[in-house]
Structure 1
Amino acid sequence: MDEVLLVSRCKVNLFLKIGERLANGYHLLTSLFFPLPYPTDEIKVTLTSEESFFLTSNFKFLEQNNILEKCFWLFKKETGFQGGCKVYLNKKVPIGAGLGGGSANAAVFLNFLNHLLPTPLGKNSLIRIASQLGADVPFFLFNKPSWVEGIGEKIEPLAIDLTGLKGLLICPKIKISTKWAYECWDKIQISKKSFLTLSAWINKKSVSQGRIVLLNDFEKIIFHAYPQMRELKEEMFKLGACGGGLSGSGSAMFFLFRETKKQKQAQAVLDKLGLLSYNYSFV
């Protein structure tokens, strides 16, 4: 079979509340996931007749214990899929940034493998497999703005209207372990008020009616450990952001602007600081 090129995107969390920790180590979540068109990863797949999996990447450390390998063997176990794969992962989505890059890789690869089956698995079966790979993986199976609950397996697509707004994604040169962030969360008692965010509760009904509260519980953890990120958020608001904050467990942050001029001014400040960033226009 010829080489197949898969494109894997990323997401930001416009809203993230952390619930109780379950016996399996996962936490119950309530979140509003919003997909971004870029940055993207590329996954080049060649099917083989051997019952094996071989991965190479532009980042050598990703070649060991990669979620793509876990996805492949889990899929074979669940479906009896025959054959193997040689995969090259061209990683462009920042690592350890809270953008779900690895989860997106797994979801795109899982969808690809599923379509190779004589009778592809249905939605519920795919979600069940994806949930075993990570909390964000089920969302990326469909990659639409969604209200997400549970450990990521309860997904309800929503029509999120950001028309007229400008987005700015900032990727500081800081890698944050999601595992570490959750461990910190579990160790301390935290009040319900979040720094520089509205703490009002929202639900999927209010979001579908256009009321979006930008909030992320992880900010309490991350901004304490990395005060420069809190300062960066303050700077974005000074430059005219109308909302924004941390995505996932960070370190990426996403901000919204009503005016293109202010977005460009903020971009210029980030460029001067040497920070990687991406801008978006929602029409």
Structure 2
Amino acid sequence: MKHQDFDWWPAPAKLNLMLKIVGRRQDGYHLLQTVFRFIDFSDQLGFKLRHDGIIRRLSGNESIVESDDLIIRAAQLLQRAAGCAKGVDIALVKNIPMGGGLGGGSSDAATVLVALNHLWGADYPIDKLVSLGLELGADVPVFIQGKAAWAEGVGEELTPIQLPDAWYVVLVPDCHVSTAEVFRDPQLTRNAPRTTIRDFLAGRQGNDCLPVVLKHYRQVKEAFDWLALFASAQLTGTGGCVFAAFESEIAARHVFMQVPEQFQAFVAQGLDYSPLMQLLSSKQNIGASPSG
């Protein structure tokens, strides 16, 4: 249940429409090529400012120790960087499944940075927030920049990309896929040939993590095999959610209505611009409006 006196901000989910692993850095991080797209399916974060410097989580993520929670770490990171004396109470309504490859934790952290940067009056430029976000995770920057993107490096080298309209059926298997385990698997492809945006838009997509995830997670394989009966099924990130694209909401909902009871599922529209940044823009415009 939402706290009515809080200021609420969205933390949208993402899909990886393609994921290639093209190398490895000296520090062990894998070098990627991927495409991030937002969907209109979000967590919600509420903020209530404090004037005593205390940062508290009031609800959400109860299974995570507060000191380990990315939303708390993000708030503390910005508070230290900005030298801010203000604090905040944070409430989280969690809709994005954990361990599903939809970027929920990274998106939550990005929303904390973007919202508190505005609410605390730190007014850091986006580039500064991106550098802070990268300290929390490789996927955080794309949620801060707020545009669908072609990504390279460990996922932080972002090039905005315009994608065709699409609706997605997303299946949520009843399992938590460990990204660390997937990247440790000796059978994971780590030297895929590099591709290009043009090749991706021409249909060369796929996910190098798919064979490893299907091998180790029966529930993901069952979801993938079922969805593949209707369209080109794909894995997002390291999983475990699988998805397929459709040209219309009607087509997507026709498949959604047939999803077996063993799977959670939802339909979402693809977005090239994040609802988080839309909200920030509207708040900035209101703040800049002349009074009277």
Which string of whole-angstrom CA distances, capped at 9 and with x for unpartnered residues, describes residues 182-228 of structure 1? 222xx3464878xxxxxx96412444xx4243311111211110244
Matched residue of 1:74: which SS?
helix
Normalised by the size of structure 1, how large is the TM-score? 0.84
Matched residue of 2:202: which SS?
coil
Count of aligned residue pairs for this structure pair: 266
1:20-99 → structure 2 map (5 Å cutoff): 20-38=23-41, 40-64=42-66, 65-99=68-102
Distance 2:89 2:248 in 1: 46
1:192–1:256 distance in 2 versus 1, CA, 3 Å: farther
1:212–1:267 distance in 2 versus 1, CA, 3 Å: same
2:163 aligned with 1:172, yes or no?
A: no
After superposition, the CA RMSD in angstroms is 2.6
1:76–1:22 distance in 2 versus 1, CA, 3 Å: farther
Normalised by the size of structure 2, how large is the TM-score? 0.81
Specify which structure has the bigger relative contact order, considering alpha-carbon pairs within 8 angstroms and separated by 6 or more residues. Answer: 2
Which of the residues 164, 172, 180 maps onto 1:161?
A: 164
Matched residue of 1:251: which SS?
coil
Q: Which residue of 1 aligns with 2:209?
A: 218
Distance 1:260 1:121 in 2: 38
Q: Is the 8 A contact 1:14 1:244 kept in 2?
A: no
Q: Is the 8 A contact 2:126 2:145 kept in 1?
A: no
Q: Is the 8 A contact 2:22 2:194 kept in 1?
A: no
Matched residue of 1:133: which SS?
coil
Q: Which residue of 2 aligns with 1:197?
A: none
Q: Which residue of 2 aligns with 1:196?
A: none
Q: Is the 8 A contact 2:46 2:92 kept in 1?
A: yes
Matched residue of 2:106: which SS?
helix
1:74-153 → structure 2 map (5 Å cutoff): 74-116=77-119, 118=121, 120-153=123-156
1:41–1:63 distance in 2 versus 1, CA, 3 Å: farther
1:25–1:81 distance in 2 versus 1, CA, 3 Å: farther
Distance 2:88 2:122 in 1: 20
Which string of whole-angstrom CA distances, capped at 9 and with x for unpartnered residues, describes residues 152-193 of structure 1? 22111111013xx44211111111122222222xx3464878
1:170–1:182 distance in 2 versus 1, CA, 3 Å: same
Q: Which residue of 2 aligns with 1:230?
A: 221
Distance 2:270 2:128 in 1: 33
Deviation of 1:127 (Å): 1.2
255-264 vs 117-126, which moves further: 255-264
Which of the residues 188, 197, 204 maps onto 2:197?
A: 204
Matched residue of 2:164: which SS?
coil
Distance 2:61 2:188 in 1: 37
1:73–1:23 distance in 2 versus 1, CA, 3 Å: farther
Distance 1:111 1:74 in 2: 12
Q: Which residue of 1 aligns with 2:265?
A: 277
Distance 1:126 1:261 in 2: 38
Identity %: 25
Unaligned 5+ residue runs, structure 1? 194-199
Structure 1 residue runs of 4 or more that deviate by more than 4 Å after TM superposition: 258-262
